[in-house]
Amino acid sequence: MLSSFLILVAPLLLTTPAAAAPQLIKLDAQQNVEVVCNAAAPAVTTTVYIERPASTEPALQVSAQESAEVSAASSSVAQSAALTVSSASSSALPIATSGPTGIASTNRTSGGLRNALYFTNWGIYGADYQPDRLPAENITHVLYSFADIGSDGEVHSSDTYADLEKHYPGDSWSETGNNAYGCVKQLFMLKKKHRHLKTLLSIGGWTYSSKIAPVAATAAGRRKFCSSAVHLMKDWGFDGLDIDWEYPADAEQAQHFVLLLQTCRQALDDYAKLHAPGYHFLITIATSAGAKHYSQLNFTGMDPFLDAWHLMAYDFAGSWDNTTGHQSNILINSQNPAATKFSAEQAVKDYIDYGVPPNKIVLGIPLYGRAFEATTGIGQPYTGIGPETVMYKDLPLPGAQEFYDDVAMASYSFDSKKGELITYDTVSSAVAKSKYLLQRGLGGAVYWEASGDKTGATSLVGTVAGQVGRLDRSLNNLKYPISKYENIKAGLP
């Protein structure tokens, strides 16, 4: 998911706001933004047929240590499904509609919204961002990134020192037995202190995504992937899995993704049945906001096995473009189309039209900016990208002023002397996104990544938490009776 960015998406038909002269507003960090929407235009009903091959996925086997066999995976998927969707040609944002609930019901969230945060295991080095800096009161889920995948499908640690070996203050060097240290122990300690905080093992990401396709293509690979992922989850004391596959390339890989999710859902459910009765372990995915990629997905096949779709609604603009642009705008600005070639709203609308319940869509917000050099403004030609990416905590740079595009619902900074423009989210755009996701009935927000945020009143994570007002407070799991790490197994007494 981030390190990546050199992927963007083909243009698609975009819903644009009603033509109105855009307002460019110089803003203060504390300035609030009102989002006003007009009445929706009449909808046009369309029927979309989605081919879904039957599943013949064999049963998943759990290790002998757990003395269990997983029952056969879910019954065969229907051969085809007719999906009726509404396509509104209006500048207004549609009101949230209800959607079907899947096997992994989102009603397991205590009625609150998600405020999920990606935390990278490499962030403990250069950024010196340690687990105890996570804003636990303002977040609901930590997505620990990233686990690697072997050629046989085995999911494993990508950095054993960061994950399991680093000793933090208070850690003993003389404990007997096999104990977990590193970020794994620190995250478990946070879970004990903040019972609403759930941790998920994120697998793949841009660096390791290419390894997923060949593994997902075979039943043996899927079984190995899911059984090893569940083993890591229970050994590390986590609450679920997050799969970041960038990206399934065609219908065949999309169907393999369905089968992979089905296999992992079954593995989690069977582990819970044996060792955490009544607890629901989570499965989420990171998913593209670009039609070139998400148009490949089998939405109706995937959704029953997912608790949330983490929509990567950023990287809409960057070094691959001919002009500067907003990298994470909500709407299209028809008065400056070069600056808003894509939009989060178009992706949200399409996902809902494909059958994803709005409350399973979690809006991605970047904690970094994308830079352009030698330019005269937003939507204009540029030469060079300078630092290319800059952490939000370091913005605006000295000499730059922040601006807010109230049509696109997006912010940027501009240094007129240097001709340097950086597109990123600010408190004002975070307020606007909070209002947007509430109006749309979305499931919350998710951020890439933790080390980029500011603290205090200018924190984007904290801003959204304060604006939405009601976060998920469902309990995490603290019982891992067959963890191979004695301190996790004992619950870190």
Number of structural domains the chain divides into: 1
Q: Do residues 299 and 50 make contact, with C-beta atoms less than 8 angstroms apart?
A: yes
Six-digit token string for 488: 């996790």
Higher pLDDT, 45 or 402: 402
User: How far is C-alpha 203 from the chain's CA centre?
Assistant: 12
pLDDT-derived band at 111, boundaries 50, 70, 90: confident
Residue 372 belongs to a domain: no
Contacts of 427 (CB under 8 A, 6+ apart): 29, 30, 31, 457, 458, 460, 463
Residue 407 belongs to a domain: no
Helix, strand, coil percentages (3-state) for the chain, rounded to 5, are 30, 20, 50
* Beta bridge pairs of residue 86: 45
Catalytic one of 154, 246, 373, 449: 246
User: How far is C-alpha 273 from the chain's CA centre?
Assistant: 27
Residue 36 belongs to a domain: no
Of the listed ranges 42-56, 182-196, 234-248, 477-491, the least confidently predicted one is 42-56
pLDDT in tens, 366-389: 999 999 999 999 999 999 999 999
Give 27's Cβ-side CA count (13 Å radius). 26
Q: Is 246 a catalytic residue?
A: yes
Residue 64 belongs to a domain: no
> Scanning the structure block, which residue is given the tokens 């044996």?
274
Residue 79 belongs to a domain: no
Contacts of 35 (CB under 8 A, 6+ apart): 409, 432, 435, 436, 439
pLDDT-derived band at 33, boundaries 50, 70, 90: very low
Q: Do residues 372 and 388 make contact, with C-beta atoms less than 8 angstroms apart?
A: no
Contacts of 2 (CB under 8 A, 6+ apart): 206, 368, 448, 449
**Percent of the chain clearing pLDDT 90 (strictly above):** 77
pLDDT in tens, 295-333: 999 999 999 999 999 999 999 999 999 999 999 999 999
Report d(CA 454, CA 448) in Å as an integer.
13
pLDDT in tens, 394-446: 999 999 999 999 999 999 999 999 999 999 999 999 999 999 999 999 999 99
Question: What's residue 12's pLDDT?
Answer: 33
* Beta bridge pairs of residue 308: 284
> Scanning the structure block, which residue is given the tokens 């079954």?
266
Nearest CA to 241 among 221, 225, 217, 223?
225
Report d(CA 222, CA 213) in Å as an integer.
10
Q: Range of 271's domain?
A: 90-367+429-489
In the predicted model, what is the mean pLDDT of the chain? Answer: 84
**Percent of the chain clearing pLDDT 70 (strictly above):** 78
pLDDT at 187 over 90: yes
Report d(CA 4, CA 318) in Å as an integer.
11
pLDDT at 267 over 80: yes
Question: What's residue 108's pLDDT?
Answer: 59
Question: What's residue 240's pLDDT?
Answer: 99
Residue 70 belongs to a domain: no
pLDDT in tens, 245-256: 999 999 999 999
Residue 324 belongs to a domain: yes
pLDDT-derived band at 13, boundaries 50, 70, 90: very low
User: How far is C-alpha 467 from the chain's CA centre?
Assistant: 19
In this structure, which long-range contacts are made by residues 167-171, counting pairs with CB atoms below 8 Å and at least 24 apart in sequence? 168/130, 168/132
CATH number of the domain within which 308 lies: 3.20.20.80
Helices 460-468 and 427-440 cross at an angle (nearest 10°) of 40
Q: Answer positive or negative: Cα dihedral of 435, 439, 442, 443.
A: positive
pTM above 0.85, yes or no: no
Report d(CA 417, CA 437) in Å as an integer.
36
pLDDT at 20 over 60: no
Residue 239 belongs to a domain: yes
pLDDT at 86 over 90: no
pLDDT in tens, 449-464: 999 999 999 999 999 9
Q: Dihedral of the CA atoms 130, 132, 136, 139 (nearest 10)?
A: 10
pLDDT at 49 over 50: no
What is the C-alpha radius of gyration for the chain, rounded to an integer number of angstroms? 22
